[in-house]
Amino acid sequence: MDRLPITSWHRRAVVVVGLGLFFEIYEVFLAGVLSGVLSHRFHLGKSEVSMLLASAFFGMFLGALAFGPITDRLGRRFGFLLSLSVYSVFSLVGAFSVGPVMLVATRFLAGLGIGAAPPIADCYLADLLPANGRGRYTAWAYTLSFGGVPLAGFLGRWLVPRAPFGFEGWRWMFAVGALGAVVVFALRAALPESPRWLESVGRVREAEAIVERLELQAGADLLPEPDVRAPAPDQPGRRRQLLMPPYRRRTLMMMAFHLLQTWGYYGFGTLAPMVLKAKGFDIPETLLFSAMTFLGYPIGSALSVPVMERFERKHLVVGAAAGMAALGLGFGLATSTGPIVVCGLGYTLVSNIFSNTFHVYQAEIFPTQLRATAVGSAYSLSRLSSGLMPFVLVPLLHTRGPDALFAAVATALAIVAVDIGMFGPRTTGRALDGV
């Protein structure tokens, strides 16, 4: 696979994965955009708002944890399509919520499905893409997906004050999420199974057939001879292997990383509207400013594409974490429109260089037969941390203010930078079997 050039087959798969991830990103930022509206609509107290924000993340935690072994056993393609199907069904049901209990329950169940999508996508693209294009094309998939962030912001700004066809605007925003499975299932023919996974479970002939088709498309006569290695194990790995040598150090590193990185990444996207409200802006202003700052997500994701293969990925993670810490402190201290938008836009821009890089990185450092289990297990902790985050950061915001909140976030990001900087292996440009 590593000797093959990028072909139209690879590009189609990247686009389909990006479209699926689009709805995961949309879901993650949806609750933050609608938190003020829903708290008013259902007369929610502070603890209930925290539960609403946390519910989808708790579902994502369990989904990422459960789908990893399923994906290692039944296939990357199967796991990805199943996760989107579960999400879409419960996102649509959530649009018809009649009270806060139903709303929280459907957010949890939708999260159960969509929480598995990023780790599965990371593993799938790592399996599929050659070493010299793995970072760049994974970044393109996430660049496509991050259009979901400003979509959530601007849709909220436009739909919340309205009720098209007598259906409240916030309900339409949940219904949009149900389109995820429709889009991906319509394009599922462009989503082949991973040849690496097929080989790892003993389905060698199927893997060879896919690779042969790719060789014909690329021009087999022009390709270098394959690097023949020992056959991969024909059984999926077990979760307990992650805490045994030689994977223990990497597993613990990524567990610590995911427990803390989410405070910086999702902490901003989820709590930015509440921070702006605490600064004295009304709901329409907070939705507008949030949408403007959220434009940094797709811009930052696009900027990550040219740097992903030029610099060592662990160093990009460390540098971006430091940049987020500085810009977050600026956003917390800002009191006027200009600095708020500039720091917010800069924060979201840098955070997606951070995010795209670690999504590539985490899938590179584990073997094929354990990849989805390892990435899903570590990544699930980011969702658990995100679920607990509102119960820590929302009270901190209300009692100590935005500056204290972003000081806590900066501390978490500093620990993240040290963790990856000290313990992370180098991966850029290396074959997966050699990392």
Domains of the chain: 1-222 (1.20.1250.20), 239-434 (1.20.1250.20)
Of 38-47, 212-221, 287-296, 364-373, the least confident: 212-221
CA distance 95 to 429: 45
Q: Is the pLDDT of residue 162 over 70?
A: yes
pLDDT at 77: 92
CA distance 71 to 323: 35
CA distance 67 to 114: 10
Quick one: average pLDDT of 284-289?
76
Tokens standing for 12? Answer: 């189609």
Dihedrals phi, psi of 95, to nearest 5 degrees: -65, -20
pLDDT at 38: 84
pLDDT level of residue 237 (50, 70, 90 thresholds): low
In contact, 289 and 340? CB cutoff 8 Å: yes
Tokens standing for 135? Answer: 């970072």
Distance from chain centroid for Cα 137: 15
pLDDT at 235: 53
Mean residue pLDDT across the chain: 86
Quick one: average pLDDT of 223-243?
61
pLDDT level of residue 122 (50, 70, 90 thresholds): very high
pLDDT at 227: 56
User: At 316, which helix (H) or strand (E)?
Assistant: helix 313-333
Span 67-81, pLDDT tens digits: 988 998 999 999 999
Residues 6 or more apart in contact with residue 78 via CB below 8 angstroms: 70, 71
Span 17-62, pLDDT tens digits: 998 898 888 887 787 677 778 888 888 887 888 788 789 889 999 9
Q: Is the pLDDT of residue 366 over 60?
A: yes
Q: Which residue has the higher pLDDT, 420 or 393?
A: 420
Q: Which residue has the higher pLDDT, 202 or 28?
A: 202
Residues above pLDDT 70, as percent of the chain: 95
Residues above pLDDT 90, as percent of the chain: 44
In contact, 52 and 44? CB cutoff 8 Å: yes
In contact, 273 and 286? CB cutoff 8 Å: yes
Q: Is the pLDDT of residue 147 over 70?
A: yes
Of 131-145, 146-160, 389-403, the least confident: 146-160
- Neighbour tally for 204: CB within 10 Å: 15
Q: Which residue has the higher pLDDT, 326 or 226?
A: 326
